[in-house]
Chain A
Amino acid sequence: MTKIFLHPLPIRIWHWVNAFAFILLILTGAQIKLGNAIHFFSFHTAVKIHSWLGWILVFNYFIWVVYYFSTGNIKIYIPPLHHPIEFAKKALRQAKFYGWGIMVGDENPHHSTFENKFNPMQQVSYLMIMVALIPLQLITGMLLWDPKLFEPIVNIAGGLQIVDLIHVFLWIFFSAFIIVHFYLATLGHTPMAHITAMFTGYEELHDDHGHGHGHGEHGNKHETEHSGSHEHTEKSSH
């Protein structure tokens, strides 16, 4: 069985800190907002956890920024917009795969390479999430964290109610997203394939097809420890 390296250590750390923080932030957020309906934590505890994790997420975001921009690998997030029609066709094919192909046992149309890690649908959604939605969630969170300290920015935004509205809408989006995200992560050639790869960095290729499913944020036949400058595949004993 072929084992390929997909996720360098900084990205694995970033991903799991993100995952852990996001889940707890969503839950504590729910506790803060729906305090009379749910009772996971006391308000005070929920706010404490939410504030701590919010800041952890801010610093965590910088791990992502520093890694992807310093290595230049950020290009895997950028859709090839200079070929819009081709890109749209690819995206459509990918959607068809998830909607029907996967049911009838078609091969995943996306064959990942290290330079092209994400399928078109992932590329668009992760780009949006990483450069717009997460920063917006972090910034609105910071404004809510101390509205007086950031008063000028709060005023530019139109008031604290507006800031909160953005923060809550994104909370709703991420709550739904994280469920779908977790499900899609189980759509590798085995349910645990993508998830294991996110821990070890390596994903087993499905030998039947010769390529990994390009799903999730994983699925790549290239191995790059840090710089991605050299590539090789590795045969695993299992």
Chain B
Amino acid sequence: MYKKRFLLVFLLVSFIFCPMYIFAAKGGSAENNKLCLQCHSDKTLNKKLLNKEILSLYINGNEFAASVHGKISCSGCHIDINMDNHPQSKRIPSRQDYALSVSRNCSICHTEAQLNQRQPIHKALAAKGPCIECHGSHYIRPTAINKAGVQENAYCLTCHRNKISMRMKNGETLSVYVDENAFASSVHAKLLCKDCHSEFSKTQHPVRTFNSRRAYTIETSNLCGKCHKDASKLYETSVHIEQLKGGNEKAPACVDCHGDHSIASTKKDKSIGIVSCNKCHNEMNASYEASMHGKARNKGDEKAPSCASCHNAHNVESAKMTTKIKDGCLKCHKDAAKLHTKWLKNPPVGLSTFSVAHFDAVSCAACHSPNADRGIYLTIYDRKTNKPLSEDEIIKTLGLESDGLMKKFDSNSDGFIEPKEMWNIFAELFKKGQRITFMGNMDVQKATDAHMIGNKSEGVKDCDKCHKPDAELFQNVFVVVKKSDGKPLIIPAKKEVLNSIYTILPMSKFYVLGSSSVKLLDIIFIVALIGGIAVPIGHITFRIITSPIRALRRMGKGGKK
């Protein structure tokens, strides 16, 4: 008993006078530990925490002895436990809380400076979880042995199964926690962590820094392309990557749609094409749901199109900047061109090319979205490459200031592009060696209307709606320039641009029977007609006036005879 009391006094004195780490490192005492293990070797020994969790207090003495801390006494770490008051009824809220409080004691020996030096990854951690979550508690083994014994993924998960996070340059924190159950049920479950995170392995873990969480997400998405080459190649042509490159960080990268570790197979998860799009394009959902397509899908028709069916999954296109959206429609409506020739034809034969000529310039929605407001969109194309010319390229070619485009285009600042102004754009770019053409197409004005595809019988079939001077559907005209982020810059134009002599050359590739013909030609026609009638009338008049001369000559000839 005396001996025991002496030991306790010695320990107390040691606590006060000796540096603690020296004590923890050297003061291990098997006897001391034996004392603790008298109780703690009982497997049934546990404690009920405030949150009703059960915390096991069992220690396997042998395993502990074999651990890296085997020679350290229990009180070396558990410095707050005093035999005088142990066991005491401590109020511990949860296992997590307990783990945190116990982990604080690790720094008695393992100072932060030392940890950061030995393994700099500690420094990158924003929220450091309890040490014991990654390293374990009583049975900590040397890292080398630990690595050898566990599988690749399990090794990574040693730390990443815990709620750890890393710090970004802008002060944000990013959770680097991996939900192992979600990963195990993902389509990538059989992959190794390093298959994607190729810079990381059991032997290397570089410390990386990122400007922001978003920057991290975007960069990490590049990893997907290692295996998914086709999808990645398609994505490279999408309006999303164009926006990302143009500086719009909100534009989605792979993981924004597909998720990261919990990634599901798109073959099984059919919702991905709608749910992920709605994260940003939620305003489109109501009109889609109200369309023929949405209704069919809601009734359980799995073949009914979702967003990606028309806009593509990876090479996502903006409907305003392309006419290719119709390819999405034609994927299902394969015989659309042929079916249209039943009524959309020029006799004597009905060729599907004639329908296609219409499809090229008229979006499907422009006819099949019954109540939509339509517009004529004249997009500036590079004549040589046959691709839209971007705002940046025009600004650069014309040597304008970055915000000078609208001023240049709408020189009289009335908010509309007029025929003369359209000619000026064309002529000025022409002088600088840039050949452009205004490619026209008809589309719905509001994107939401594009999704309100109605019944077949509601489609526009009346030729007069388009093919007539001043046609009903040709009242709203816009000039479109592709912005550097891939989005369109839409500038209203006067509808006269469709019928002006100024726009013959700028719009040489856009012609609509009846509604885009040049008004001046009508006047020339009438003048020619009047001229044509005037010739006989004038000639007859002169013949009547001169008829006495002829009569006289005839008489003269007759007289001679």
Contact = CB atoms under 8 A, between A and B. Distances in A.
Interface of A: 30, 32-37, 42-44, 47-48, 51-52, 55, 98, 102-105, 144-149, 158-165, 168-169, 171-173, 175-180, 183
Given A104-B550, A105-B553, A35 B467 contact: yes
B463 A47 contact: yes
Nearest to B543: A103
B524 A35 contact: no
Q: Is the interface of A mostly helix, strand, loop or mixed?
A: helix
A172 to B, nearest CB: 5
Given A47-B463, A161-B516, A148 B437 contact: no
Q: Is the interface of B mostly helix, strand, loop or mixed?
A: helix
A104 B542 CA distance: 10
Given A146-B353, A148-B354, A52 B347 contact: yes
B535 A172 contact: no
Given A148-B353, A168-B521, A175-B525, 11 more contacts: A34-B469, A36-B469, A36-B470, A104-B549, A161-B508, A162-B504, A163-B511, A169-B521, A172-B521, A183-B535, A183-B536
B546 interface: yes
B139 interface: no
B529 A33 contact: no
Contacts of A146: 346, 351, 353-354, 357
Max chain A Cβ within 10 angstroms of own Cβ: one of B346, B546, B550 = B346
A48 B343 CA distance: 11
B528 A172 contact: yes
Contact of A165 (B467, B504, B536): B504
B76 to A, nearest CB: 86
A162 B317 CA distance: 31
B360 interface: yes
Given A32-B467, A104-B553, A160 B546 contact: no
B457 to A, nearest CB: 19
Contacts of A44: 463
Contacts of A144: 513
B535 A180 contact: yes
B522 interface: yes
Given A43-B464, A51-B347, A146-B346, A175 B528 contact: yes
Nearest to A105: B550
B558 to A, nearest CB: 10
B549 A33 contact: no
Given A103-B543, A159-B511, A161-B508, A179 B533 contact: yes
11 contacts: A33-B514, A34-B469, A35-B464, A52-B347, A148-B360, A158-B508, A159-B509, A161-B504, A161-B508, A161-B511, A172-B524
Contacts of B360: 148
Contact of B353 (A103, A149, A172): A149
A47 B462 CA distance: 13
A89 to B, nearest CB: 23
B310 interface: no
A38 B522 CA distance: 12
B549 A103 contact: yes
B532 interface: yes
B532 A180 contact: yes
Contacts of A36: 468-470
Contact of B532 (A34, A104, A158, A177): A177
B521 A161 contact: no
Contacts of B542: 103
Using C-beta atoms within 8 Å of the partner chain, give the interface range for chain B: 35 or more
B484 interface: no
Contact of A48 (B347, B513, B545, B553): B347
Contact of A159 (B437, B543, B553): B437
Contacts of A55: 348
B221 to A, nearest CB: 39
Contacts of B347: 48, 51-52
A43 B514 contact: yes
Max chain A Cβ within 10 angstroms of own Cβ: one of B463, B525, B554 = B525
Contacts of B507: 161
Max chain A Cβ within 10 angstroms of own Cβ: one of B468, B514, B533, B535 = B514
Contacts of A164: 511, 517
B539 interface: yes
B15 interface: no
B314 to A, nearest CB: 29
Contacts of A183: 535-536, 539-540
B509 A161 contact: yes
Interface in B258-305: none
Contact of B463 (A43, A161, A168, A179): A43
A76 B348 CA distance: 35
A176 B531 contact: yes
A163 to B, nearest CB: 8
B145 to A, nearest CB: 72
B356 interface: yes
Nearest to B539: A183
A160 B510 contact: yes
A109 B393 CA distance: 66
Nearest to A169: B521
Contacts of A148: 353-354, 356-357, 360
B126 interface: no
Given A102-B543, A165-B518, A32 B549 contact: no
Interface string B32-69: 00000000000000000000000000000000000000
A146 B517 CA distance: 17
A196 B484 CA distance: 71
A35 B469 contact: yes
Contacts of B467: 32, 35, 43
Contacts of A168: 517-518, 521, 525
Interface in B458-492: 463-464, 467-470
